[in-house]
Amino acid sequence: MTDLTAVKDALKSQAIETPSWAYGNSGTRFKVFAQPGVPRDPYEKLDDAAKVHEFTGVAPTVALHIPWDRVQDYAALARHAEERGVRLGAINSNTFQDDDYRLGSICHPDAAVRRKAVDHLLECVGIMDATGSRDLKLWFADGTNYPGQDDIRARQDRLAEGLAEVYARLGEGQRMLLEYKFFEPAFYTTDVPDWGTAYAHCLKLGPQAQVVVDTGHHAPGTNIEFIVATLLREGKLGGFDFNSRFYADDDLMVGAADPFQLFRIMYEVVRGGGLTSEVAFMLDQCHNIEAKIPAIIRSVMNVQEATAKALLVDRPALAAAQAAGDVLGANAVLMDAYNTDVRPLLREVREEMGLDPEPPAAYARSGWAEKIVAERVGGEQAGWGA
């Protein structure tokens, strides 16, 4: 039997980080769609993020993206967040939007471009110092499009050299989270294409370097939960970027395409002892056509539901079936948990936390959507690249 009190306690302590860029305008490669009431600066992004935390109770931190969220005074931005009941989370670097990075950034054949990229990463560590952020999250668009375009091994050497310089700058308690993506925008070789490459670099760097798993960054049919289980076993899973994909890196709402996959991932997290602050659970989504704050609230709830089901797995029964070679019995234990309707349980958890049991409805009644549409008039809306 599952201890429901322990399950509730785990759900109450869960923390899901929301990304600042999800509150801005986004779209496809063909068009960015504007919405009324979208934030115009990082301060207004934090105001919206605070509403997500107010109604879910489990979204206490907000990730920043530099230079999209660049401000003059990061300490003041951190204070603004705290005044609204949230904190600043991971600092995400951007080495993919300057013309200089056409042939790569930290792996570029030109030493001057590599210097520019590394200096930006060092700037991000300085921002971590000012904001109290723990994690520097790195994703590189570096790669090549044609055989022979550049030396594959030399690019790995450049990557290792740049990462080592940034790693040496990390302070006590700070971490480097290295993300991977198997293609796009590089189509022949990508310099950090898979978890093995990221793991190899992090292993060489040291204990403050961890791998981050973006659920949209895998080839069709990839067993992501195996990757999660392996990285947890090795003590190298630093965090997640949660989203959903139908074809490629679609950055849709987590759990939208394959909620069963999200459950399987969260089961391995629970099984591997990863439901702690040592693993950062962050959303990385683009809300192109749907209202942004309600979509983020729903995404947080989707993660909560998958986590609740994972916590309900009867692990002693599962272990017994596995040891006995009972193939169908073991699968049935997992499926029983997955098929459980956990929404009543989560409503109870929210009520015990002093929250409205139905966050979307509570947000709709709050009037915040109408307030920001009326007040955020004029200025330049935040979006991709801003």
- pLDDT, one tens digit for every residue, the chain (386 residues): 678 999 999 999 999 999 999 999 998 878 889 999 999 999 999 999 999 999 999 999 999 999 999 999 999 999 999 999 999 999 999 999 999 999 999 999 999 999 999 999 999 999 999 999 999 999 999 999 999 999 999 999 999 999 999 999 999 999 999 999 999 999 999 999 999 999 999 999 999 999 999 999 999 999 999 999 999 999 999 999 999 999 989 999 999 999 999 999 999 999 999 999 999 999 999 999 999 999 999 999 999 999 999 999 999 999 999 999 999 999 999 999 999 999 999 999 999 999 999 999 999 999 999 999 999 999 999 987 65
Residue 41 CA to residue 386 CA, distance in Å, equals 8
Q: Where are the domains of the chain?
A: 4-375
Which residues face 61 on adjacent strands? 87
Residue range 4-375, CATH number: 3.20.20.150
Q: To 10 degrees, the CA torsion angle through 39, 16, 261, 357?
A: -90
The DSSP code sequence of 212-261 is EEETTSS-TT--HHHHHHHHHHTT-EEEEEE-B-SSSS--B-TTSS-HHH
